[in-house]
Structure 1
């Protein structure tokens, strides 16, 4: 072998190790493959691997432990970034999140993803907090247990049982939020570079979180009854995604719910191609009558259910959950210890448990469903009067996924509205394929102020006038 050819092979091995380290496929402190295994995998001679490892050790990226092998040091690695795609800031999920979360008190937020504070059960929350303050010192001062509050888990298991999903306490883990639940699942099941499938459109923070994990995102068009099944089957067969993340009930942002036929087909396709499904059930309690659930039909064989109470009780009381196979829950418990040292705050879990056990939660949700139905009936015609047309009328929830008038650019519309103190959510924030450029998501619960419609009217007129 010529010196130049050997040099090139050595550089190839070094580049491969650097790439795995940068993508976090090798973690700092992790042992590298043995010289023989690396040589076989790279189809080079052992001496080439020895030279590559020696040179990487000289750079400080790896170090040798006599009699043990070579280990990654992490020295010189780039920081783990969010790997944002190059898109306009107004169609970046972080832009919408920041504008909504950091909005001043007088700003209007029809683009945000939560109910107004005045719609939440303020009296029940205050009563629960007073009761906790009079309770055990441990609730006020200690860490949460690794699986989270047993009383709350039992209440959740009872609620699941009403749906026909009968689980043991070992199949349920409480988390700090629904977002943390998805984050733990990604850490547990996936490696950087793995393929994940989402709906198009989908909840924009799915996109943001999955990019943090350096995963390859694919999307499938969402219809009124579920994913486009022909496209779903084709992409799953061709790309073999490890995970599919979806909302079955009152899908975010479209408001659509899964049909029985689509649910069975999705589960059949997932089983045929060994794909796991994460079913985010955060909007379940907004449905007037339950629609099909993949977790119930599957019995948690390959479906993982996640959820939280941020939308129904309080976004300030951070408490979510994961329901899955017992062996997966065991792994997720360890990950939660490693990343946050225990389950959710005993204060948060105790407060949620108190409200669920009191019976007031059901009455609260009945009132919320009634108010949302009124809001949808009031908001839809006012938007239609501006030429903004709902894609469908949802059975429940607070989202309307709307098509804008022809030629109305949602990005420019968002900037014009923001200048007048109104935060909007343009469609491509929700689209991996960037195919929702003429859509926008509206939160009907945040549209009681007439100023919202006046700002929209002025902004649309400005767009028409160029």
Structure 2
């Protein structure tokens, strides 16, 4: 709505500029065409032309001949803008009047093939979690609502170690390199309940599960190495490996596990060093690995000499008896990664890994080079929570609450005409919308909702009509009716 201080053009430009600076529109993302934007925002094409012109002037977007407007990978200098301005003004006017004409992916303004862009920008979704899109529950969030996680035992656990004597004992010197001994003993017992046999000496604590994955990559891989990942899979892992210079080999994830034929072809052709897997409650599909698939994966790992890192981030939402590669392998070629951010305290950043004995010292060296040690206060408090059974009882309450939320969310989705591409289990649902969810996500931002479009979960950001939802944050009919309305437009 027009304000006294700003014109409609200025308001529209400011809205896009803020999203770009907040990384809610990632580098390489395509803006709506002039005509589409005018229809969506209820303004004239000339208003959109003016807004896009302002974004060009600020160096936030670029125009590509016959393709549209894209968020720039870097901030544009005034000199670059002056050169581009004379070349692109006609394109702006032309886009307002004529239909879009594509020259195919990767084509530049001159028709040549442009350098490949980063496959995706996972931080766009993560930044959206921190920026507070609106006061509405956010379906794209990867964590439980704060009210679900509130406990009394966390504060009690921290107070136990906050006396002056206790704090001086472990705060005035570096902690144990591998992590608090008490926590590692507690984690060893926790892993036994999952049939993963790992002594405390095989466990290293980290600053969250993502840090553990990063330590494994930096220890076992070098730039240019091939790494197999599941697809769809988690965008952060794709982006992290890409930033390290790894060559990503996407393996289709099926209901029983990864496509084993594709894995073997990759192993024969590229000699990958690592396979990254979420065996239990896979993100985003919720699939769980079957024993037969797990057995074959381990056979391939031994035959073709690669390691498997098993990310069990969602273990607290799953049965202890679910099939885990590390349990079958006995931590020979497998490395187990876990954490507590999803179930307990996202900001505590306490994760861990359990590794084969011959890799422990190498992994520990990498940890020391990156963080020296990890915060002893939180590790000691967490050890107490584990030992007292507080986390186990808390997880049981969360699972019961999540089961109810999932049932309500599925019923709402189906009542509004949506289906699921995978059986709804765990924290996330894999929803079929019937439209391009990249474009849909931008429309939903205008309505105050942050989505996780399906393209994010592909290593090369393949357009998708699927999206991932969080069952805990999709309880309101308003979200589903809004989604239904925009999909139908």
Call closer, same or farther: CA 1:204–1:179 in 2, change over 3 Å. same
In the TM superposition, what is the alpha-carbon distance from 1:238 to its structure 2 partner?
Answer: 1.9
Q: Which residue among 420, 442, 467 is the counterpart of 1:440?
A: 467
Q: Which residue of 2 aligns with 1:225?
A: 256
Give the whole-Å Cα distance in 2 for the aligned partners of 1:379 and 1:285.
Answer: 20
Q: Which residue of 2 aligns with 1:346?
A: 376
Q: Which residue among 383, 387, 403 is the counterpart of 1:357?
A: 387
Q: Which residue of 2 aligns with 1:76?
A: none
In the TM superposition, what is the alpha-carbon distance from 1:367 to its structure 2 partner?
Answer: 1.0
Give the whole-Å Cα distance in 1 for the aligned partners of 2:145 and 2:172.
Answer: 30
Q: Which residue among 398, 412, 417 is the counterpart of 2:439?
A: 412
TM-score (norm 1): 0.76
Give the whole-Å Cα distance in 2 for the aligned partners of 1:313 and 1:352.
Answer: 10
Q: Which residue among 431, 438, 445 is the counterpart of 1:402?
A: 431
Task: Verify the 8 A CA contact 1:143 1:345 in the aligned structure 2.
Answer: no
Task: Verify the 8 A CA contact 1:288 1:369 in the aligned structure 2.
Answer: no
Matches within 5 A, 1:361-380: 361-380=391-410
Gaps of 5+ in 1: 1-83
Q: Which residue of 1 aligns with 2:478?
A: 451
- Secondary structure at 1:127 match in 2: helix
Give the whole-Å Cα distance in 2 for the aligned partners of 1:352 and 1:265.
Answer: 36
Matches within 5 A, 1:27-426: 86=117, 92-104=121-133, 106-134=135-163, 136-137=166-167, 138-342=169-373, 344-395=374-425, 397-405=426-434, 408-426=435-453
RMSD between superposed Cα atoms in Å: 1.9
Give the whole-Å Cα distance in 2 for the aligned partners of 1:382 and 1:327.
Answer: 50
- Secondary structure at 1:307 match in 2: strand
Give the whole-Å Cα distance in 2 for the aligned partners of 1:386 and 1:372.
Answer: 21
In the TM superposition, what is the alpha-carbon distance from 1:144 to its structure 2 partner?
Answer: 2.8
- Secondary structure at 1:174 match in 2: strand
Task: Verify the 8 A CA contact 2:193 2:320 in the aligned structure 1.
Answer: no
Give the whole-Å Cα distance in 2 for the aligned partners of 1:85 and 1:437.
Answer: 20
Q: Which residue of 1 aligns with 2:77?
A: none
- Secondary structure at 1:218 match in 2: strand
Give the whole-Å Cα distance in 1 for the aligned partners of 2:377 and 2:298.
Answer: 37
- Secondary structure at 1:133 match in 2: coil
Deviates more, 1:245-254 or 1:321-330: 321-330
Greater RCO between the two (CA within 8 Å, min separation 6)?
A: 1
In the TM superposition, what is the alpha-carbon distance from 1:99 to its structure 2 partner?
Answer: 1.2
TM-score (norm 2): 0.73
In the TM superposition, what is the alpha-carbon distance from 1:392 to its structure 2 partner?
Answer: 2.0
Gaps of 5+ in 2: 1-114
Give the whole-Å Cα distance in 2 for the aligned partners of 1:97 and 1:85.
Answer: 23
Task: Spell out, residue by residue over 1:210-251, the C-alpha distance to the aligned partner (whole angstroms, 9 max, x if none).
Answer: 011110001011101101122222222222211000100000
Give the whole-Å Cα distance in 1 for the aligned partners of 2:148 and 2:422.
Answer: 24
In the TM superposition, what is the alpha-carbon distance from 1:101 to its structure 2 partner?
Answer: 2.6
- Asked if residue 427 in structure 1 is aligned to residue 454 in structure 2, the reply is yes
Task: Verify the 8 A CA contact 2:410 2:424 in the aligned structure 1.
Answer: no
